[in-house]
Amino acid sequence: MARVPSYPSPLARPFADVGNKRSIPDSTGDSGRASLAAGFPPETQLPLNAGGVAPNRLDFNGVFNLLSNFAFWQQSGGQWSYSPELGYTPPCMVYHADKLWWCQKENGPDSDNGAYEPGADENYWIEFTKARGVGGGGGVPVGTVITYYGTKAPEGYLTCDGMGFSATLYPGLYAVLGKATTPDMRGLFVRGYDPAGGVDPGGAGRGLGSAQEDAMQNIVGEMGATQTDSTSSGGAPINGPFRKVSHADTMDLKGGATFTRIRFDASLAVRTAPENRPKNINLLYCIKHD
């Protein structure tokens, strides 16, 4: 059964921070001395009566201090800066020129590709916020439309207001849209793309991003004339959106009967407006540009 990791207590300071210690050299010819290349040399494993040399306390303090300095730096949010002397492979990340960079392809002085400074070639390094699946992009692909609680689009997005943009500056968005203007989504609701027309009756003839005019299903019906004469007190019942207007402009028919004019007014029964709409909230549509 795999052990579930637990969050460790942060280091209060690097090990042997103020204690006696030696800096660990890359290599050394001193007997018994620790180095980065060899670690503690073989003679430190031999018995003293067989020519062995005891590992030195100052070396132990130096090793633990070196390693705990790395941990202390990282727990404090530290990020390593780019160095042309080091080799890098995906998915490592470095800090350079006030930006974070994500390694796209192996590079460095000992790499077949050579060393590439971040910002020189996006095939090797890309800004962290632009990397797919990491950083500010959060894995959000170019062309993704979001609703945003603000009057201006957030970083990495453009407002969906039909305005033009630079295809040179945002080539990915231009490739997705096929044009250098954002979709104009102001005041519109979104309907799921249905090219087969299984749910949207007009879906088979609609292109992606196309707008559809408002409409309502047809309402049909019949009603009989409401007669008022000497033998009728009220005529047929009138309810719902129908109302009797008056006896004005009635028709005098044979026998002295008159027919009341009826008016249909939906506002008498439901909320009305100059458009058909569901209950909604006002937010800003924005599209991811890189």
Cβ count within 10 A of residue 68: 16
**Joined tokens for residue 159:** 């407002």
What is the mean predicted confidence (pLDDT) over 126-131? 78
Average pLDDT (145-166) is: 94
pLDDT for 217: 77
Tell me: pLDDT of 140 over 60: yes
pLDDT averaged over every residue in the chain: 84
Looking at residue 137, its pLDDT comes to: 47
pLDDT (0 to 100) of residue 274:
82
- SS3 track for 115-140: CCCCCCCCCCEEEHHHCCCCHHHCCC
Task: Confirm if 241 and 266 have CB atoms less than 8 A apart.
Answer: yes
Least confident of 106-110, 180-184, 206-210: 206-210
SS3 readout for 230-263: CCECCCCCCCCCEEEEECCCCCCCCCCCEECEEE
pLDDT tops 90 at residue 179:
yes
pLDDT number for residue 280? 86
- pLDDT surpasses 90 at 43: yes
Q: Is the per-residue pLDDT at 196 higher than 60?
A: yes
Closest CA to 126 of 164, 166, 167, 172: 172
Per-residue three-class SS string for 175-192: HHHCCCECCECCCCCCCC
pLDDT at 109 over 90: yes
pLDDT at 240: 60
Averaged pLDDT for residues 117-133: 82
Query: Which carries the bigger pLDDT value, residue 130 or residue 188?
Result: 188
Smallest CA-to-CA distance from 11 within 56, 70, 63 is with 70
Q: Given this model, what pLDDT does residue 230 score?
A: 46
Mean pLDDT of 15-34: 93
pLDDT at 211: 87
Query: Mean pLDDT over residues 56-78, rounded?
Result: 94
User: What does the alpha-carbon distance between residue 109 and residue 28 come to, in Å, rounded to a whole number?
Assistant: 25
Confidence of residue 224 (pLDDT cuts 50, 70, 90): low
| Cα dihedral 94, 100, 102, 107 sign | negative
Contact 81, 96 (CB under 8 A): yes
**Would you say 158 and 165 are in contact if contact means Cβ atoms under 8 Å apart?**
yes
What pLDDT is attached to residue 225? 55
**At 264, which helix (H) or strand (E)?**
strand 261-264
Question: 193 pLDDT exceeds 60?
Answer: yes
pLDDT score for 219: 65
Closest CA to 287 of 197, 203, 176: 176
